[in-house]
Chains A and B, each alone.
Chain A
Amino acid sequence: MILDAHGHVGTWPDFLIPDPTAEGLVATMDRLGVTAVGISHLLAVGPDAERGNRLAQEVAARHPGRFGVWQVYNPHHRTPLVTDGVWGVKLHPDVHQCRLDDPRYERVWRLGLPVLAHGQTDSPWSDPAQFATVAARHPDVPLLMGHTGLWPNGFARAARLVADHPSVHLEVCGSKSTGRWIARLVELAGAGRVVFGTDACFLDMRLGFGRLALAPLSDADRALVQGGNLARLLGKGLP
Chain B
Amino acid sequence: MPKLIVDAHRLAGPVPFDDLPVDPRPDLDRLGIDRALVTHTLSLYSDAEVGNDALFALSDPRLEPVPVVVPGVPGACTPATPAAVRAWGARMVRLCPERHRFDLTGPIALRWLAALRDGATEGDAGPGRPPVVAVDLDETSPAQLRTLADRLPGQRILVLNPGYRRLRALAELMAEAPDVWVEIGTVNTQGGVEWLAERFGAERLVFGTGAPVADDCGPRFLLDHLDLTPHETDLIAAGSLAALLGDRR
Residues of A within 8 A of B (CB): 14-20, 24-25, 28, 31-32, 152-153, 175-180, 200-216
B189, A203: Cβ atoms under 8 Å?
yes
A179, B190: Cβ atoms under 8 Å?
no
User: B163 near A: Cβ within 8 Å?
Assistant: yes
Determine which residue in A153, A176, A179, A215 has the highest number of CB atoms from chain B within 10 A of its CB, and name it: A179
Segment from B41-49, B66-74, B210-218 that makes contact with A: B210-218
Residues of B within 8 A of A (CB): 17-18, 20, 30-31, 163-168, 186-195, 211-212, 214-222, 225
Please judge, given known A-B contacts A15-B164, A15-B165, A177-B215, whether A214 and B192 are in contact too, CB under 8 Å: no
A209, B164: Cβ atoms under 8 Å?
no
A-B contact pairs, 29 of them (CB 8 A): A15-B167, A17-B190, A17-B191, A18-B190, A18-B192, A24-B190, A25-B190, A153-B17, A177-B215, A178-B211, A180-B20, A200-B190, A201-B189, A203-B164, A203-B190, A204-B190, A204-B191, A204-B192, A205-B190, A206-B218, A207-B215, A207-B219, A207-B221, A209-B218, A210-B218, A210-B221, A210-B222, A211-B215, A214-B31
Which residue in chain B gives the minimum CB-CB distance to A21? Answer: B190
A213, B217: Cβ atoms under 8 Å?
yes
A16, B167: Cβ atoms under 8 Å?
yes
Q: With the chains together, A48 CA to B194 CA distance in Å? A: 30
A211, B218: Cβ atoms under 8 Å?
yes
A175, B163: Cβ atoms under 8 Å?
yes
Majority SS of interface residues in chain B? loop
Please judge, given known A-B contacts A19-B191, A175-B163, A175-B164, whether A207 and B216 are in contact too, CB under 8 Å: no
Q: With the chains together, A31 CA to B135 CA distance in Å? A: 34
Please judge, given known A-B contacts A15-B167, A18-B195, whether A203 and B188 are in contact too, CB under 8 Å: yes
Nearest CB of chain B from residue A208's CB, rounded to whole Å = 7
Q: 3 nearest interchain CB pairs? A: A210-B221, A179-B217, A207-B218
Q: With the chains together, A205 CA to B221 CA distance in Å? A: 11
